[in-house]
Amino acid sequence: MSSEGTSTPPYVPPDHARFWLGTLTESADAGFVGADLRGIIITWNPGAERIFGYAPAEILGRPIGVLIPSDKQAEEAASLARIGAGETLRLETERLCKGGRRTPVSLTMAPVLNERGHAIGISVIARDMQRTFLINAENLRREAVLRSILDTVHEALIIIGDDGLIRSFSGTAERLFGYPSEEVIGHDVSVLVSEPHRERQVAYIARYLQTGERHIASIARVVAGQRKDGSTFPMELSVGEIALPGVRQFTVFIRDLSESQDRERRLAELRSELVHVSRLNDLGQMVSTLAHEVAQPLTSLANYLNGSRRLLTAGKAEAAEQALERAAEQASRATRIVQSLRDFVRRGETEKRSEDLRKTIEEASALAMLGIAHKLTLELRVSPDARQAVIDKVQIQQVLFNLIRNAAEAMTGDGMVSITVMRVGEMAEISVADTGPGLGEEVGARLFQPFVTSKPNGMGVGLSVCRTIVEAHGGQIWADPAPLQGALFKFTVPLPAGDSAKTD
Amino acid sequence: MQDDLQSAVGVIDDDPAVLDSFRFMLEVAGHRVLTFRSALEFLAHTSDLPCCLILDQQMPDLTGLELVARLRSDGIVLPILLVTAWPSPAIVTRAAELGIEGVLEKPPGEGDILSFAAAYL
């Protein structure tokens, strides 16, 4: 061996070596036990005393067999035979402590050889496994508790790694998604998310990893889940993080909103959040009240003007003058009504903010799909230059809810709803297309008027409310002839100011 | 007096400006006009009926259609033109059931009003 690769061992005088060994032996946590060939204990360190409870005076000179439980005698005999043959053994077993208590130990047993290589006894290094055993038992207990919780709660639990791959899939999750756990573990979590949500889902996790911020963790989100058979259902996600040294995983609790047990309650909650039903009715009521209010001065105005024209034709200018004054009063009255309406809308403008259209649409679509029994595929494409729009999110979600719900209800069997967002000039154009039967010609022409409907139980208020909302945003709503089949609705909402100058 | 009433057009509307404007327009066109601020006010005058009635639907106390129903059940028949800002299918259907001559959306056209009045003079 070359002298360059190894350092020369430092010289330790032979009488010093025992001091080193002595201190090591005295201070070790492990128990050091030496026995001669007859099995008589001849060394016993403080570590051994801590594990087995015997003081050196109580144990030195006694046979090592006092530490061996009766059912381990055969194992010990076999061990001794192998050590006698020169082998070093490592084994986990049990030993008896002072007073007869059994304790789990990990042992390293080796023959002690003299200068001629003859065995003169055995050395035993014993490590107390009591603590490890307790930790393991506690872990097993916790795991059992966790498993029973997971089997009991309605939520499905999945654990995903920071690479987006599924690590764990609870029994509830298996039933919910229709996948046995072995088919999804190791696969990307996006297989569980319906198409239009996939990109975003992955983006969430990526963003989380980059910034370390809990963008999703504290907020439950509603997205469309996808089962093995391709059908979709609304699910609510609650995401948490497991952060251990070297391990970063996410726990995702999934609540199936289509499950009848939760559905009614959750529907009620979500509806009150979005004020769907009440606001629809309020708006319908408001529109009808306003129509009446404005019609009154217009009626008077028309009557005064028509009479005045007749008077003027007959050359009675003086009589006409008085009527024209009254007409002007009625015009002012109409103006005041329009102004108060404008004030009302302006108050509403404080609610308008630049909102993420994808998120807005995803939330509305998840809600609109609640309770739709048949299999529906939802497709969402958002052009990169139309990601944001200045909207009252709740109101625009009402419009989306109406259009998507209409589409979903129009299709009695399997079908598809495609939502596309693209930029047209200064506006974001959102189109909602379905593969249903489409619009009848008669209905098509009067679509956005109140009380026009093709639905057996419809009120015919929905689309007129949609128009009111969209027009209050400065946009337009219309139905286009669908390219192939089904209905195609489009509406526009304004892009954020300054966004128009941007080019992608 | 009887002849005068027989040749008058009745107008019922809770809005004074609307009522006044109808009176002006119809008078300029050569009609005699009787105006009423409410259905109840009109019911107090059923002993002397106008030749025809222009009736607002949306009024407090008694709506236009409720008034017509009351008149019909009392056996009172006269031509009626219902005007409303919101001619919903329900209103139109009910009007047809009651045998009302016509339903007009507010603001009504002068031609529609005058031809109605002229037809029943």
- pLDDT tens-place string over residues B18-62: 999 999 999 999 999 999 999 999 999 888 889 999 999 988 888
Examine the pLDDT at A33 and tell me if it is beyond 90. Answer: yes
Q: Cα separations (Å) of A365 from A21, A225, A252, A452, A458?
A: 75, 12, 21, 24, 20
Choose between A347 and A137: higher pLDDT. A137
- pLDDT tens-place string over residues B81-97: 999 988 888 888 889 88
Which chain A residues are within 8 Å of B33, Cβ to Cβ? none
As a whole number of angstroms, the distance between CA A249 and CA A243 comes to 7
As a whole number of angstroms, the distance between CA B91 and CA B100 comes to 11
Examine the pLDDT at A327 and tell me if it is beyond 90. Answer: yes
Which residue type, as a one-letter code, is found at position A212? G
Shortest CA distance from A285: residue in chain B: B86
As a whole number of angstroms, the distance between CA B86 and CA A414 comes to 39
Question: Under 8 Å CB-to-CB from A300, ≥6 apart: which residues?
Answer: A326, A327, A330, B15, B17, B18, B20, B21
Choose between A438 and B115: higher pLDDT. B115
Least confident of A50-64, A103-117, A144-158: A144-158
pLDDT at A282: 54
Confidence of residue B63 (pLDDT cuts 50, 70, 90): very high
pLDDT at A328: 92
pLDDT at A86: 85
**CA A383 to mean position of chain CA atoms:** 24
Which chain A residues are within 8 Å of B14, Cβ to Cβ? none
Question: Under 8 Å CB-to-CB from A468, ≥6 apart: which residues?
Answer: A283, A287
Mean pLDDT of A224-237: 80
Mean pLDDT of A41-67: 93
Shortest CA distance from A284: residue in chain B: B86
Is there a contact between B25 and A311 if contact means CB atoms under 8 Å apart?
no
The phi and psi torsions of A500 (rounded to 5 degrees) equal -70, -25
Helix (H), strand (E) counts: chain B: 6, 5
Q: Cα separations (Å) of B110 from A310, A383, B30, B33, B116?
A: 11, 52, 14, 15, 10
* Structure ipTM over 0.85, yes or no: yes
Is there a contact between B21 and A330 if contact means CB atoms under 8 Å apart?
yes
Least confident of A184-188, A277-281, A322-326, A404-408: A277-281
Examine the pLDDT at B68 and tell me if it is beyond 60. Answer: yes
Which chain B residues are within 8 Å of A330, Cβ to Cβ? 17, 21
As a whole number of angstroms, the distance between CA B43 and CA A80 comes to 122
- pLDDT tens-place string over residues A402-416: 888 888 877 877 788
As a whole number of angstroms, the distance between CA A115 and CA A16 comes to 19
The phi and psi torsions of A159 (rounded to 5 degrees) equal -115, 130
Our CA-based measurement puts residue A328 at a distance from the nearest CA of chain B, in whole angstroms, of 12
- The SS3 call for residue A267 is helix
Q: Cα separations (Å) of A260 from A154, A157, A411?
A: 12, 19, 22
As a whole number of angstroms, the distance between CA B21 and CA A27 comes to 112
Q: Under a CB-based contact definition with an 8 Å cutoff, are residues A256 and A262 in contact?
A: yes
Choose between A268 and A127: higher pLDDT. A127
Mean pLDDT of A308-312: 93
Examine the pLDDT at A45 and tell me if it is beyond 50. Answer: yes
Examine the pLDDT at A135 and tell me if it is beyond 80. Answer: yes
Choose between A151 and B117: higher pLDDT. B117
Is there a contact between B89 and A451 if contact means CB atoms under 8 Å apart?
yes
As a whole number of angstroms, the distance between CA A299 and CA A334 comes to 10
pLDDT at A305: 94
Choose between A134 and A460: higher pLDDT. A134
Choose between B103 and A207: higher pLDDT. B103
Which chain A residues are within 8 Å of B88, Cβ to Cβ? 450-451
Q: Which pairing describes strands B8-12 and A488-494: parallel, antiparallel, or unpaired?
A: unpaired
Is the dihedral angle over the CA atoms A75, A76, A81, A83 positive or is it negative?
positive
Is there a contact between A326 and B25 if contact means CB atoms under 8 Å apart?
no
Enumerate the H helices of A420-488 as residue ranges.
441-445, 462-472
Segments making up each domain of chain B, as ranges: 2-119
- pLDDT tens-place string over residues A210-227: 555 554 444 446 677 888
Give the CA dihedral A264, A433, A227, A190, nearest 10 degrees: -110
As a whole number of angstroms, the distance between CA A151 and CA B58 comes to 61
Whether cis (ω within 30° of 0) applies to the bond prior to B107 is: yes
Q: What is the mean pLDDT of chain A?
A: 79
Is the dihedral angle over the CA atoms B86, B91, B93, B95 positive or is it negative?
negative
Residue in this structure with the two tokens 């404007």, named with its chain if needed: B21
Asked if B1 has any chain A CB less than 8 Å from its own CB, the reply is no
DSSP annotation of A33: E
- pLDDT tens-place string over residues A328-375: 999 988 888 777 666 655 555 556 889 999 989 988 887 777 666 677
Asked if B21 has any chain A CB less than 8 Å from its own CB, the reply is yes
Mean pLDDT of B106-118: 90
DSSP annotation of A481: P
Which chain A residues are within 8 Å of B15, Cβ to Cβ? 296, 300
Which tokens is A107 given? 């042992």
- Bridge partners (DSSP) listed for residue A31: A126
User: Around A416, how many Cα atoms within 13 Å sit in the side-chain half-sphere?
Assistant: 11
Examine the pLDDT at A266 and tell me if it is beyond 60. Answer: no
B2-119 belongs to which CATH class? alpha beta
Shortest CA distance from A297: residue in chain B: B18
Express as a percent the part of chain A with pLDDT over 70: 77
Over the range A417-442, which residues count as b (16 or more CB within 10 Å of their CB) and which as e?
A: bbbbbbbeeebbbbbbbbbbebbeee
pLDDT at A458: 43
Q: Cα separations (Å) of B46 from A237, B1, B50?
A: 69, 15, 9
Is there a contact between B85 and A326 if contact means CB atoms under 8 Å apart?
no
- The SS3 call for residue A37 is coil
Asked if A333 has any chain B CB less than 8 Å from its own CB, the reply is yes
- pLDDT tens-place string over residues A181-212: 889 999 888 888 876 666 666 566 556 555 55
Asked if A291 has any chain B CB less than 8 Å from its own CB, the reply is yes
Which residue type, as a one-letter code, is found at position A172? T
Is there a contact between B58 and A294 if contact means CB atoms under 8 Å apart?
no
Question: Under 8 Å CB-to-CB from A141, ≥6 apart: which residues?
Answer: none
Q: Under a CB-based contact definition with an 8 Å cutoff, are residues A187 and A163 in contact?
A: no
Across the A/B interface, how many CB contacts are shorter than 8 Å?
75
| Candidates A293, A300, A325, partner chain B, best to mutate (most B CBs within 10 A) | A300
Mean pLDDT of A428-454: 69
pLDDT at A190: 81
Mean pLDDT of A218-240: 73
Our CA-based measurement puts residue B62 at a distance from the nearest CA of chain A, in whole angstroms, of 16
Confidence of residue A460 (pLDDT cuts 50, 70, 90): very low
Examine the pLDDT at A80 and tell me if it is beyond 60. Answer: yes
Q: Give the closest of B29, B89, B110 to A302, CB-based.
A: B110
Which chain A residues are within 8 Å of B108, Cβ to Cβ? 299, 302
Asked if A302 has any chain B CB less than 8 Å from its own CB, the reply is yes
Q: Give the closest of B22, B107, B109 to A295, CB-based.
A: B107
Q: What is the mean pLDDT of chain B?
A: 88
- The SS3 call for residue A43 is strand
Confidence of residue A457 (pLDDT cuts 50, 70, 90): very low
